[in-house]
Structure 1
Amino acid sequence: MTPPVKAAVFGTGSWGTAFAMVLADAGCEVVLCARRQEVADEVNTSHTNSGYLPGAVLPASVRATTDPAEAAADADFTVLTVPSQTARANLTTLAPLLAPDTVVVSLMKGVELGSAMRMSEVIADTAKLPPERIAVVTGPNLAREIAARQPAAAVVACTDEDVARRLQAACHTPYFRPYTNTDVVGCELGGAVKNVIGLAVGIADGMGLGDNTKGSLITRGLAETTRLGLAMGADPMTFSGLAGLGDLVATCSSPLSRNHTFGTNLGKGMTLEETIAVTKQTAEGVKSCESVLDLGRRHGIDMPITETVVGIVHDGKPPLVALEELMSRSAKPERR
């Protein structure tokens, strides 16, 4: 009899916990690695993580520990769901503990500040792993809906198609349908830039603007993402799929999206500090908008929506002023 696949999930926020449920429902043995003992104790005794996923009951095959070495031991897949800007620090500690053949799976959607590296690049750089031992899971995956086992699709990406298929099998359930892709660059860019566009749409919603504005921002945001992806060698088809348009629509449309909610509060007139204070979990686009803009500039790509978000979030520009500047840009053909 084939032994079950073992998975270690580092990060017990809403998405890490929800993905642990998916893995367990697909038949994996899952260990959640928590920073706080009380979270591990709750998972092990009550099979819940009420601080991040209230109401969700975890499968009995999910257990938790605060010992990274215990979690990582013999894992077929080591899943990282930590905030993207802490990835390097977490990996520095985790890398020596990785099982010899484990595939490191990134659920992180961001670009590192300073280096402008995608998360798979941070993993490769820090843990010294080859591309075939690094995979990405992305797509329209709002954690609370998945925890409620509502139907969803996703993309599992790895440059090695056999590894992508192994991961696909490890997280395929009746409600969670993963597709494989070898375009890691495109999949990661779609996940990172959509957070920035989600902030923009949230700001517009907070300002009381309508669906025409939202539709325009989503469409032009996708064009912005695609231009950057093409410059970086991504497959343009990726951006019309789950990792591109699918994730973008979910993030820009749902009140469950942290980035959309964060942007809505800014658009209503809250300061950055006030918005951070009422936000319980990381809105990745807040920090990544700067690194995404940096990445665009490194590749000579014009990213006006991203630039507008950076101006509002980090430069203190009033949303109305930023909107007027965006709308007054020189006219050009749509496909530019």
Structure 2
Amino acid sequence: DRKDKGTEGYCSSSYTMEIIFFTQTCVWWRLRRLFLALMLLYVFIPVIVKLCPSIQAKLVFLNFVRVPYFIDLKRPLDQGLNHTHNFYLEPEPGVRVGVWHTVPAHMWRDAQNKDGHWFESSLGSAQSAILYLHGNAGTSLPAGAALTAVLFQVLSALGFHVIAFDYRGWGDSDGSPSELSMTSDALFIYHWLKVRLNKAPLYVWGHSLGTGVATNVVRRLCDRDSPPDALILESPFTNIREEAKSHPFSMVYRFLPGFDWFFLDTISANDIYFASDDNVNHISCPVLILHAEDDAVVPFHLGKKLYHAASRSQSLSGHKVQFVPFDSSLSYKHKFIYRSPELAHILRY
């Protein structure tokens, strides 16, 4: 009996070991297949991007990402902006872009139930105005409706008229984006606004990718000897190649041999440069740079590097160039600088 029991125990133990071995083998093969699949995908993505450069352009603009998605841009009131008017302009025949005009806070009562003619006429008595150029991934509400509504309310409370619009291909604007079209759209809106302001100060404010558009626009204005009263760059970068290399999305490929050839050269092949570090050598108006130290999307060091380039610019000699950092303890990150209680003082200064 003892012998039978011993044999039975041995068989049971052997059977258990076989199950464990079989299970481990299956897990190993699954992990191996998963690893091979991930490696193929890792190699496949750069090849596809190189073969189809338009994919890289979409990744730069991200205009197909609309946050929040279910929003009626014709109704800024839904976002808490009860003194904002939505309308449309045509930078060129057949291309319509959506525009928001927020009047200063002290005019909110007068703005109720007013039509587009009233809003446009109000620019004639404006004390100052801001042309706001948003970043990628969305609409003229780059940080989401609630966040940007707060920014516009802050600027409105400071007495600014704020004009924000969606470049072609964003929001409910027609067309598809390119660096050239974004710049030409912004120039068109700038001139439309300028002729209605009756010599009131006009400032160009760009955020994130919009800073690249802003420096493009201001460079062209300065080339025509008609600079804006100031250029404000929030979370800016030096140029799109350096930003792409520093972006969190590039982290897994950053050390891949041929990274520049696969990804950065492909961006250039789409005629996308946003070379703010070069543009500042042709700008002749005051420049204010705002950047949070804990910005993970556009790293702080790129904003600082752009500031140093602007400080050395001959064309900016004699113009105020200011860099305002925001400590990481404030957690302003990429799009919350509007929360700063010092913002009003900074802008007035």
Query: Highest CA radius of gyration, 1 or 2?
Result: 2
Tell me the TM-score normalised to structure 2 length: 0.29
TM-score, normalised to structure 1's length? 0.30
